[in-house]
Chain A
Amino acid sequence: MIRRIVVSAGALAVVTASAAATIIVASPPLEMPTPMSFEIEPPAPVVACPGGQTVPVGDVGTGGDLASEPTVRTLDVWGPTSTRAVGLGLGADDAIAVQTERIADGDIEGWAALTCAQPSFDQWLVGGATTLGSSTRLVLSNPSTAPTEVTVTIYGPLGAREDQVLLPIAPGDSVQRLIEGVATQMSAIVLRVEATGPGVVAALQDSRLEGFQPAGTTWVGASAPATDSAIPVVNADAQAVRNDDAASGNTDTGSATPAVAIPGPAVTVRLMAPDGARVELSLVSPEGIESWSVGQAITLDPGVVTDIDVPTDRLGAIEVRSDEPVLASARTVVARAPREGLAADVAYDHTWVPAMDVRTPTTLSAVVPSDGARLAVYSPVAAQVEVLGDADEVVGSADIAARTVQWVPITAAQGARIHIEGVSAWAFVMTSPDGYIASAAPVDISTTFLTATVLPDTYPASGGG
């Protein structure tokens, strides 16, 4: 009996001890295998600019009133000391550059500017349309020394198109594709450009016609999806411009016509969430948050591109907040009386300004595109924003209230590289009394090292192979 009691109690005791030991080490102590991160020195930077804009279609090759090809244009690349040809455009062994182009006549009359970026493997271009009178021309530049293969996915109002565009690009070359040749009658477009090899620099020429009148032309640069971003500048205090010649009846018709009303600037925000999202938009001005009747949560279906008109008549910025990463960009359209044409005609110029992440502090850089370019800065928090030059000297500063946008004067000259640290969103805007507008958004070139995280694993690890 005693033996039974002792043995049974002993057995229960060892079971209890074992259970305690098991519970104490309920979870393994380590993450295994452990990923290893390394900082890799990046290769020497190289940038590419897409080059001059072209008349997409309809160049009848004639002069006079029906001439579509511009005859007066200037194209400048600022920043690098020297450039070289990269296909249709220019490249440079530098971290950043800016391209400005002023076209005085023809179908693509207007101003355009673009910050020339370094090759990337995955980038989004938010802008363009392929409806009647709209042309979207994709320019892909490969300034590197290795070939690349690019896959372009087109997103429209109905979501992503299944047929992708595959383009191989030789080193030092560029290719162009008219998106309307692939996807017609799309009122809103977002492109995703994925590249192999050394990556690619992508830019989108968004040119429009209103009848025979130019309705704006610009370059669209790369955007990045984010959950908390801001489009730093819309409207830009641009004013509709009456052309005196046109107003006085100096048209082809030769007949005197009454002056037409020139509409004010119009702003449209384009949104797309790759995985769907609920988005809240807020319009801010130099005074702060503006009331906006559409300023309520919008549900975006995955891959569906949505345009929303923004009612504003002065400098503004748009905050974009969402539960999932969203791409956003704003198009500002400025009207003017046409150089020639019917009395009722109105010409336009436009520009796209992409949204920038304002959640994470970053250092964004840009090159001053022109002496007259103005710098609009949005800050989500009250801060003194300092604009630093290439040698970190202060070339401009301003105290910006939280959730406001304002012009910040700078002393840097055309072609100078500037940068701003923090969580602000900003862009250069060039406007002219003639009714032209262009903008150049900054890019992040601050990455000193590339980070690679590697971990050992069996192969095949899953369904591969």
Chain B
Amino acid sequence: MSTPYVRAVLVTDGRSEHLSATLAALVALDEQPSILHIVVTGGANVDVPEALAADVRRVDAPTYADALSGLLDTAGAREGELLWLLHDDTAPHADALARLVATATKRPRAAVVGAGHVRWNDASRLVNLGTTVSKVGARRVALVVEDDINQGQHDWREDVMAVSLAGALVRREAFEALGRLDAGYEGFGDSLEWCRRAWAAGHDVVIEPRAHVRHAQDGLYGARSRRGGRGSTHARRRVSEWHHAFAWAPWWAVLPLILLIPLSVALRIVARLAQNVPRRALAELSVPLLLIARAPAIMRTSAAHRAVGATGPIEDRLFASVRQVIDAVRHRELGTFERSRASRVPSEMVKAELDAAAARQRLSLLTTTAIAALASVAVGLDYMRALVAGKMVAGPGIGSTDLAFQTVWTRAWTGWADVGFGSAGIDGAYAGLMAPFAAFPGGLRVGIGVLLIASPFVAALLAWWAAGHATRGPWIRAAVALVFGFWPPFLAAVADARVGPVLAHVALVAAAVALARAAGWRRGELVAGRIESPTPAPSPSAGLAAALAVTVATVAQPVLLLPVAVIVAVLGAMAGRLRWRVWAIATVPIVVGLPGLAAAARLAPDANLVASVLAREPGPGEAFTGSAWRVALGMADTSRWPSTLGAAWPIGIVGGVAVVACAIAAIASRRAWQTAAAGLVVMAAGGAVAAWSAHATAAWPDGAGSGAISGWPGTGSSLVLVGALVAAAGAHGTLLAGDGTRFAVGRVLSAAVATVAAGASVAVIVFVAWPGSQPGSATTVGTHVLPLAVPLEQEGLARQRVLVLASTGDGEVTYSVLTHDGSSHAIGRAEWGPEGEPLGGSGGETVAIDTLAPTVAEAVRSGAADLSALREWGIGTVVVAPGGTRIQGALDQNASLTLVGGSEIGTTYRLDGGNVSRAWFATDDERLAVKSLVTSGGPTESPTEGGTLVIATPSAIGWTAQLDGHELDRVDDPLGRVAFDVPPGGGAVTYEYRDPAQRWWWWASLAAVAWALIGSVPLRRSKEVAE
């Protein structure tokens, strides 16, 4: 048998930095090809070594396939000719050609004999040893995992579905018969396409694993494009996979494949975001568009199959099995192979030490869990009883917590605060935060109850977790957990049902955990004589989890937004190469908190007002009346303890003083001074937040039942505590690693202080739970706080409001305008400026909303009171709370009220005259009610004589009304309500509130939060995906 004629073809555009090495490799071949063509495209200059006999040709071809075709068209053909297809980044091993020729000779049916591709820089690492595809969907599956070490384990392979044509020996006859390379694939997937055609046309495709070609994969890594990296070619590779799938799909599978595209793209985008490769997600997003552009090429490929006779069956064994596909996904996408190869198995001695350390940590966790669980039960016992009995948490500054999910969602979606007379809320973020709690079985009542009950427990466990990143001392971790979980201001917030500060406390420690993992600030277990064991690499998912936690904290307590942004900026500067990851943490809370910043900016330059808006209280809570510095330092409020325990007040201050003292002392640590400094900065920010909150007006009155309140400094106190614990625990972490007497004394001393602090914290819990204590102002009551029929009026088509009057013990009368069965501060407040200017949405003119107070005052004292103001604001019902006999006395005499009935939860009066509604047509002589919901109404037939559509809410940008689809003009209303001119002639009138600024913010926030949510899923990624 004579030696076959081998025509080697190397195509180059001269841009590969590997060309010279490739040419050198050709020079070094054991056996030279019969002829070597070097096809140069694009006018590049190529220095061909003198030792290399080559036919250099210059062609003008845009792709490899075109260049190759151009050569073959002119080069003629010989019988039995073999084409050796070379790229300018493929350097064959010296014996590669000999091995390929030998195999081609041995396998005469083989249309192509592929070489094994190895890494350019490390020939022991495999790159490609053939590929296959799944039978359904044409999922491309590599037969070896990239970078697997070549130990000859794959040398048995022969028949494969496809080989890479780079460096492959192809029979010229078959190459021509099968239509050469399909240029429609644009360089990705054309090898697979040709090989599959070969099988379908009755040829074999064979791999020769021992014939090695070093492949730099310039095309794959986009080395020739402006922006390199594997991600730069991702979209084109994905499109080529779809190209292959469609081209080879039977006719009946085309439609399912088309339907599969959006599903695949959506899933892949989610996965890419979860893997924190947003560029890949964008690439996935572009796939459908590129695929549409590729459609003609797909049809040409499909036609080519018939033209070249590549329509025969292919053996099933050549296709990828389901198992192979799953493994390929795990390897290629999730990098499981890389990790398993990278993982190091510790020595038996180290493993024993790690096991012993893990046992100590488990004991610490168990102790913390048990104590935290008991404490949560002790503090939340009343809440538990209430939830079981079907009651709800209520009380001053809270109102009702039994609100429907729809109510919560409406607040979050529209931004309209349906509280009192209503207001354009700054945002719906707080209600959005409450939405998951409202989705609890049992609704928001149960959600908030569970939150309050579980929060000390969760806070303690998260603190234990967080402390583990700073120190591996089991007892210190437990002490940190107990101090954080039982921090007196936090317990006070739980007992007062201050939902925002409670959430912020828990979210801050969660953010600390996530931040530490994102930046890799964590300590390993000490083994083998105080040597730290390796810790996992910094996690990008943790970065987004931190963003999410910070967002929760800042939505719950907006006062944290700017301080936390500053803290993140400082920490980012300390994070080295990961600074952008850390800085990115601030983006999500800033996007979500943007409306608050805009609202504050509108009140500039009045610094007090700006500060107050930034420190607003979005949720339930009473005004704070104590000393801010005591709260900031975490000193317990002994008035909440039983009076007999008042003498134990020193115990209430031990925890805070100990932690703060340790934090300040930590700055003296030589090894942990950076951590201590960072902790002190956080502490300082916390103190500032506490002072800021206490001094600010956290909410201004709305004239309809919401009074002004000052902020709660406990949120700042939480930040103080986080900073102090970071400093103290960080210093302790270095103490553990130090040798010598000084460190030993430090360890003993810190353990003693930790014991005192933890003991004091547990004592505080005991005192708060002691019989006779008054832990807080929150109470538990039945879910119906208004007489039975009243909520029906609130939710009916007229959407009436209800005025509730109650007597206090000292002769004062409290009033509240309700749109639900109880105040709904649990999902947000009405947000007005000090002069009645709307703070939220697109802002708007200041509306002089008269407070209802004069009307209420007159009504509760005089039977001759004029109650027309109630009607003008859609209040149709007055309820007097139990004990308000004096109020009833006045109302009984009022001729404009009718006593409807009394019950143990209140006495109800109805405004005479009927037709009280949220919105109405005002004509010269009558009022016609308009069907209303919270933020929309109609369609209702307007009066033929025309009139004015009055919506009994304060005027704000975003309210629109239509008459048969035509916009109605706004008119001024003397009371500052929303009013539209309704022309004569009649027609269906509708109205709606939709603030454009709110909409933009909503979607932006949704995108940011969704990104953070998906990205925080700890879905691993392969090296390939990360590149």
Interface residues of A (CB under 8 A from B): 4, 7-8, 10-12, 14-15, 17-19, 21-38, 40-43, 121, 144-148, 194-199, 450-465
B857, A460: Cβ atoms under 8 Å?
A: no
Q: Which residues of A contact B664 (CB under 8 A)?
A: 12, 15
- Chain B residues near A451 (CB, 8 Å)? 861
Q: A14-B680, A453-B812 are in contact. Are A27 and B781 (CB under 8 A)?
A: no
**Residues of the B chain whose Cβ atoms lie less than 8 Å from the Cβ of A194:** 885
Are B694 and A25 in contact, with the CB atoms below 8 A?
yes
Partner of A458, one of B667, B683, B687, B825: B825
Would you mind naming 27 contact pairs between A and B with Cβ atoms under 8 Å apart? A11-B676, A12-B667, A19-B629, A34-B708, A35-B812, A40-B865, A41-B862, A146-B863, A147-B892, A195-B885, A197-B893, A452-B813, A452-B860, A453-B811, A453-B857, A454-B812, A454-B815, A455-B812, A455-B814, A456-B701, A456-B707, A457-B396, A458-B825, A459-B785, A464-B785, A464-B883, A465-B782
User: Is B856 an interface residue, CB under 8 A from the partner?
Assistant: yes
In the complex, chain B residues whose CB is within 8 Å of the CB of A32:
623, 697, 707-710
For A122, the closest partner residue in chain B by CB is: B886
- Say if the beta carbon of B684 comes within 8 Å of chain A: yes
**Would you give the shortest CB distance from B887 to chain A, in whole angstroms?**
9
Q: With A453-B812, A455-B814 given, name 8 new contacts (CB 8 A).
A: A8-B677, A26-B694, A30-B708, A36-B857, A198-B893, A455-B815, A456-B706, A458-B705
For B843, the chain A residues whose CB sits under 8 A away are none
Closest chain A residue to B851 by CB distance? A36
Interface centre among A14, A145, A198, A451, by most B CB within 10 Å? A14
What is the bound-complex CA distance between A24 and B1018, given in angstroms? 45
In the complex, A86 Cα to B340 Cα: how many Å?
99
List A contacts of B854 (CB < 8 A): 38
Are B687 and A27 interface neighbours, CB within 8 A? Answer: no
A205 to B818: give the CA distance in the assembly, Å. 47
The chain A residue with its CB closest to the CB of B399 is A458
A456 touches B686 (CB 8 A): no
B65 contacts chain A at the CB level, 8 A cutoff: no
> Which chain B residues border A7 with CB–CB below 8 Å?
673-674, 677
CB < 8 Å neighbour of B781 from A14, A458, A465: A465
A residues near B126, Cβ cutoff 8 Å:
none
Please tell me if B15 contacts chain A, counting CB pairs below 8 Å. Answer: no
B residues within 8 A CB of A148? 889, 892
State the CA gap A465–B906 with chains docked (Å): 7
CA distance A195 to B889 in the complex (A): 8
- Which among B784, B851, B853, B883 has the greatest number of chain A C-beta atoms within 10 A? B853
Cβ of B960 under 8 Å from chain A: no
Contact in complex: B858, A38 (CB < 8 Å): yes
A461 to B892, CA, bound (A): 24
* CB contact under 8 A between A454 and B860, given known A7-B674, A32-B708, A459-B399: yes
Residue ID in chain B nearest A40 by CB atoms = B861
Quick one: given A15-B683, A196-B889, are A22 and B632 in contact (CB under 8 Å)? yes
Q: Which of A36, A198, A199, A450 lies in contact with B853, CB distance below 8 A?
A: A36
Q: Which residues of A contact B694 (CB under 8 A)?
A: 25-28
Q: Which residues of A contact B703 (CB under 8 A)?
A: 456
Asked whether B822 is an interface residue with its Cβ less than 8 Å from the other chain, the reply is yes
**Could you tell me the distance in whole angstroms from the C-beta of B826 to the nearest C-beta in chain A?**
10
Cβ of B632: which chain A residues have Cβ within 8 Å of it? Answer: 22
Query: Is B690's beta carbon under 8 Å from chain A?
Result: yes
Q: How far is the CA of A90 from the CA of B73 in the complex (A)?
A: 129
B174 contacts the other chain (CB 8 A): no
- Are B688 and A21 in touch, CB under 8 angstroms? yes
Once bound together, how far apart are the Cα atoms of A30 and B702, in whole Å? 17
- Also in contact, A198 and B785, with CB within 8 A (given A26-B629, A459-B804): no
Map CB proximity to A onto B566-579 as digits: 1 under 8 Å, 0 otherwise.
00000000000000
B863 CB contacts on chain A under 8 angstroms: 43, 146, 198
Partner of B816, one of A29, A34, A457: A457
Kindly identify which residue among B716, B782, B813, B816 contacts A459, using a CB–CB cutoff of 8 Å: B816
Q: A227 → chain B, closest Cβ, in Å?
A: 17
Kindly report which residue of chain B lies nearest to residue A18, judged by CB atoms: B687
The list of the 7 closest CB pairs from A to B, nearest first, reads: A33-B707, A465-B785, A18-B687, A38-B857, A452-B857, A11-B680, A457-B814
The answer on a CB contact under 8 Å between B862 and A43 is yes
Cα(A29)–Cα(B695), bound, Å: 7
A461 to B863: give the CA distance in the assembly, Å.
26
* A residues less than 8 Å from B398 (CB atoms): 458
* Complex alpha-carbon distance, A461 and B785, angstroms: 10
| Contact A456/B704 with A15-B687, A25-B691, A465-B822 known, Cβ cut-off 8 Å | yes
Which chain A residues lie closer than 8 Å to B804 at the CB level?
Answer: 459
Q: Complex formed: what's the CA distance from A366 to B44 in Å?
A: 122
B312 contacts chain A at the CB level, 8 A cutoff: no
Q: Say whether B961 faces chain A, with CB atoms less than 8 Å apart.
A: no
Given contacts A11-B680, A42-B862, A457-B816, contact A18 B707 (CB under 8 A): no
Closest to A32 in B: B623
Instruction: Flag if A457 contacts B707 (CB, 8 Å).
Output: yes
Smallest CB separation, A178 vs chain B (Å): 25
Complex CA distance for A43 and B905, rounded to whole angstroms: 29
Please tell me if the beta carbons of A462 and B395 are within 8 angstroms of each other in the complex.
Answer: yes
* A22 and B687 within 8 A (CB): yes
Residues of A within 8 A of B710 (CB): 28-30, 32
B-chain residues with CB within 8 Å of residue A30 when the two chains form the complex: 697, 708, 710
Q: Please, how many angstroms separate the alpha-carbon atoms of A228 and B112 in the complex?
A: 118
Q: CA A30 – CA B707 in complex, angstroms?
A: 12
| Residue numbers in B under 8 Å from A28 (CB-CB) | 623-625, 628, 694-695, 710
Name the one of B687, B851, B881, B885 contacting A21, with C-beta atoms under 8 angstroms.
B687
Proximity string of chain B (900-929) to chain A, C-beta cutoff 8 Å, 1 when within and 0 when not? 000001100000000000000000000000
Q: Which residue of B lies closest to A38 (CB)?
A: B857
By a CB distance below 8 angstroms, the chain B residues around A452 are 813, 856-858, 860-861
Q: Which residues of B contact A22 (CB under 8 A)?
A: 628-629, 632, 687-688, 690-691, 713, 716
Among B668, B707, B886, contact of A121 (Cβ-Cβ < 8 Å): B886
Which residues between 512 and 552 of chain B lie within 8 Å of chain A, taking CB atoms? none
Q: Mark B27-64, 1 if CB is under 8 A from A, else 0.
A: 00000000000000000000000000000000000000
**Is A43's CB under 8 angstroms from B864's CB?**
yes
The A-contacting residues of B in range 803-820, CB under 8 angstroms, are 804, 806, 811-816, 818
- What is the 8 Å Cβ interface bit string for chain B, positions 818-857, against chain A (1 contact, 0 not)? 1000110100000000000000000000000001011011
Is the pair A457, B815 in contact by a Cβ cutoff of 8 Å? yes
Contact A459 B818 (CB under 8 A): yes
Q: Are A145 and B691 in contact (CB under 8 A)?
A: no
**What is the CB-to-nearest-CB distance from A38 to chain B, in angstroms, rounded to a whole number?**
4
Q: Does B397 contact A (CB under 8 A)?
A: yes
Whether A121 contacts B889 in the complex (CB less than 8 A), given A32-B707, A32-B710, A33-B708, comes out as yes
Closest to B777 in A: A462
Q: Are A26 and B628 in contact (CB under 8 A)?
A: yes
CA distance A41 to B863 in the complex (A): 11
